Chains A and B, each alone.
Chain A
């Protein structure tokens, strides 16, 4: 018992240190604990996100309203509301590995990571707090890997989905009608699907190759090979920046060994700049690696999946030659606050997203079920406050 007490106090001291340090490094910081970890964080409105569990059997889908204090710009001091509100919730039969909100609707589409089929959910309105399953969409082909999903505003609502480069299709949600099919000769597992405009989308594969196609034409897609040198046994994740204020559309590809390559969407074969990131550990699972462009900070990317931290990098400082770079900022909160005892797998980040409007606000989720909302401070402006 003595030992236990001592350890607890040491842990408390460690926490005190981190929190005191955090006074300078974060503007806002909120720490929540869900019953189960989530691999998805998806915006459903300006103030709400969806999360969902990924355990083998039953799981919950929750729509959470972010703390009101975060949004109270005037008289922020008078707002004491700093909790997540569970505005809607529902139950799933299987894991949720991918979840996409269809913009302009109260509809989300999920995939369980075990086959190509999709589940369609109604998030519910003001009259009910229950999320209900409303239908499903069959995958184009039987697949053992899960589907990626992309959605954009459209009436009637449609989703682009597929598990491999050979089975990507656009499906109308209500009728289940197939509106478009991507024709490729390859059959690579997909790492992501993204719309870059109303009809142009990017399908990226784990081997680093990228297809660009237009859902309006049946013309063959444009294929870009993996960044050179290829042949490395790494997996690649990708994100495209589509924010209007940024110059052109940039693509960042991140390998499971921590190499990040930025290219112009119009010239994916070329390298605009690149860097070897300061990843402390190899990813626990290569598929967990994730990279996102900051929607409001030109050239900033966030990276997670290598252990328990979310890192922020500024690609503007990178060069076409591969160089080692340090992160501009690291959110280590999930590791520091984790009470997991030794022996188990260390905490790793399962998902993270940028707030679409607030420049430096991110949400991150970890394998211990923690979800953090944090507004970080740019290092060189810290003492100016």
Chain B
């Protein structure tokens, strides 16, 4: 039986290291190549030695697919390709391809330059790795080789995030990456065809949660900003150029307008240029509303939000500033933070995850005294707020996606020891499919029943239709008769005559014959006539003929009579019929064995 194997090398929570191996139809595919940001040692990267030891991964893998630019999904890519060794194709969407190297370089800087780690990938390795990337468009079927094809679908979550449908022959797998089933202010909801894959591999980060509404998250954000502004404080919002920044700007703009607020809102200039650049490039990846807005005006032409100048940070009175980078590890956001940290009226709102070793990570852990460069310490007196806007599918979202794709099997990837027996039961009950949850390094094997497509000749179809009497019920299966021809890689069903013709074969006849002894004291001719009359009486509706050559024919069945050599009262009947009339033939022979009824003339 054909089978598909799935082995997670590491996958799971928000900060996990997603990396999943799939073997399908003789092809090996790596799905995502993420790093675990909570570790500094070997556990940071997936264990590639599981795949192959002391050799290059190129020999084993047919392709690598990256779902989106978050480091827990692509952070180990340069390590895998340049340090372990992989020269095959790496697929990712255009936005991911554009943003991924920037994030990898940022992360490399923090790890190597700030934390002084060695044995890490270099800038050159990131560049070399990115040269192996082949960009994907949404809904475009890409042929990796003659048998393996992949197709990307919109996943929401972040700009460029994709789910991917992987197909070899009639077997297929869908990998979701991180996805979001509800649209937000700047991205749409995930969507996929009813592609009925053999396995749907889904992230299950929020599988056991019921998410608070987006509106309530936004409400909290506005409440915090408003409180700080009201007491005359300054609010710093460190952001990454892409993603939540746009969303939060749209939100604040609306709020300021409605509340008629006067405090200035700024965004740092680097942010606008970068963001505008990417949003112009990838406008098709955002939602309808943003697209409409973008046609009318520049993404960052807000009424209340103005460009920031570094001198503004010292201005008196309340203000709100969006600044990069998002983890407070360098640049403008860090400069402003240092200026404002000492005043408890001020506030910093961290709208996302921060990597270990950054100021952002430290203050989110409640650290109030920070050691800065040059042995100075910084007292953090301002209010620190952590808000998660991450857009993942929760239990309901997972169920929605299953309903959409209609997989034959479900596989939830999770690294941590989360118990999800209830969810598994729910999926199995509602959809009558199996649900697997393999641990890291554990292989799930699913047997597939590939359907075999067969072409059918029109003439045969028409003939069978005609035989069927009234119009066939399209929902009911029907038996058809024909000849199956397997030629090269295709299968077709044709009529027997056509099959003979195509294959240059002669038709052979198969006939059955049988002798039946009968006591009948009459002449042979009379006996034959008596048989004729008897059959006429018994077999109504059949064509029965008494032919001049002393035979009786019932359809294709021939009956002849001769007398026994020893006893002329013993007649020997010779019956012969073709294979097609086998049923009638055997019936006749058993009928005649019972003898002829008296009173026949």
Contact = CB atoms under 8 A, between A and B. Distances in A.
Nearest to B209: A83
Interface string B18-42: 0000000000000000000000000
Interface stretch (A26-34, A167-175, A226-234, A256-264): A26-34
Interface string B221-258: 01110110000000000000000000000000011001
Given A16-B258, A60-B426, A129-B421, A80 B213 contact: no
B192 interface: no
A83 B210 contact: yes
Given A20-B255, A77-B384, A84 B216 contact: no
B425 A130 contact: yes
B364 interface: yes
A202 interface: no
Contacts of A91: 425-426, 429
B259 interface: yes
Interface in A1-32: 15-17, 19-20, 22-23, 29-32
A43 to B, nearest CB: 17
A22 B208 CA distance: 28
A80 B385 CA distance: 8
Interface in B402-428: 419-423, 425-426
A19 B213 CA distance: 12
B354 to A, nearest CB: 11
A83 B206 contact: yes
B385 A77 contact: yes
A86 B422 contact: yes
Contacts of B209: 83-86
A35 B396 contact: yes
B48 interface: no
Given A33-B210, A78-B366, A80-B388, A129 B420 contact: yes
A64 B394 CA distance: 14
Contacts of B208: 85-87, 129
A80 B364 CA distance: 10
B212 A31 contact: yes
A90 B424 CA distance: 11
A128 B419 contact: yes
Interface in B182-235: 206, 208-213, 215-220, 222-224, 226-227
Contacts of B365: 78
B210 A20 contact: no
B366 A75 contact: yes
A21 B385 CA distance: 22
Contacts of A33: 210, 213, 396
The size bracket of the interface on B is 35 or more
Interface in A165-204: none
Most buried by B among A16, A22, A77: A77
B219 A19 contact: yes
A123 to B, nearest CB: 12
A67 interface: yes
B223 to A, nearest CB: 5
A89 interface: yes
A327 to B, nearest CB: 22
A31 B366 contact: no
Given A19-B218, A20-B255, A29-B219, A129 B212 contact: no
Main secondary structure of the interface of B (DSSP, over half): helix
A67 B421 contact: no
Given A86-B208, A89-B422, A29 B366 contact: no
Contacts of B387: 80
Contacts of B364: 78
Contacts of B395: 86
B302 interface: no
A83 B219 contact: no
B422 to A, nearest CB: 4
A209 B586 CA distance: 85
A10 B385 CA distance: 32
B120 interface: no
Contact of A23 (B213, B222, B386, B388): B222
A118 B313 CA distance: 66
A79 interface: yes
Contacts of A20: 222, 255, 258-259
A88 B216 contact: no
A83 B426 CA distance: 20
Interface string B415-454: 0000111110110010000000000000000000000000
B383 interface: yes
Contact of B210 (A64, A88, A337): A64
Contacts of B211: 32, 83-84
Interface string B245-282: 00000000011001100000000000000000000000
Contacts of A382: none
A78 B426 CA distance: 34
A29 B426 CA distance: 29
A266 interface: no
Nearest to B387: A80
Contact of B384 (A32, A78, A89, A130): A78
A376 B210 CA distance: 22
Nearest to B224: A77
A82 interface: yes
A117 to B, nearest CB: 24
Contacts of B215: 15, 19, 31, 337
Contacts of B217: 82
Contacts of A85: 208-210
B431 to A, nearest CB: 14
Interface string A53-70: 000001010001001000
Nearest to B384: A77
Contacts of A127: 419
Contacts of B423: 86, 89
B450 to A, nearest CB: 33
Most buried by A among B227, B365, B386: B386
A63 to B, nearest CB: 10
A130 B422 CA distance: 5
B225 to A, nearest CB: 10
Nearest to A84: B210
Interface in A72-109: 75, 77-91
B210 A129 contact: no
Given A23-B226, A77-B384, A82 B216 contact: yes
Contacts of B383: 77
A30 B223 CA distance: 14
A32 B213 CA distance: 6
A80 B216 CA distance: 12
Nearest to B255: A20
Contacts of A88: 422
Contacts of B420: 129
Nearest to B363: A78
A335 to B, nearest CB: 15
A167 B206 CA distance: 45
A337 B254 CA distance: 19
A130 B258 CA distance: 47
Contacts of B216: 29-31, 82
Given A23-B222, A89-B426, A31 B213 contact: yes
A82 B389 CA distance: 11
B210 A86 contact: yes
A19 B259 CA distance: 12
Most buried by B among A79, A80, A83: A80
Closest 5 CB pairs of A and B: A89-B422, A31-B213, A84-B210, A80-B388, A77-B385
22 contacts: A16-B258, A19-B218, A20-B255, A20-B258, A22-B219, A31-B212, A31-B215, A33-B213, A58-B429, A78-B386, A79-B386, A81-B388, A83-B209, A83-B212, A84-B209, A84-B212, A86-B210, A91-B429, A128-B421, A129-B422, A130-B425, A337-B215
Given A16-B258, A83-B210, A130-B421, 18 more contacts: A20-B255, A23-B226, A31-B213, A67-B212, A75-B366, A77-B384, A78-B386, A79-B386, A80-B388, A83-B209, A83-B212, A86-B208, A89-B422, A90-B422, A91-B429, A129-B419, A129-B420, A129-B422
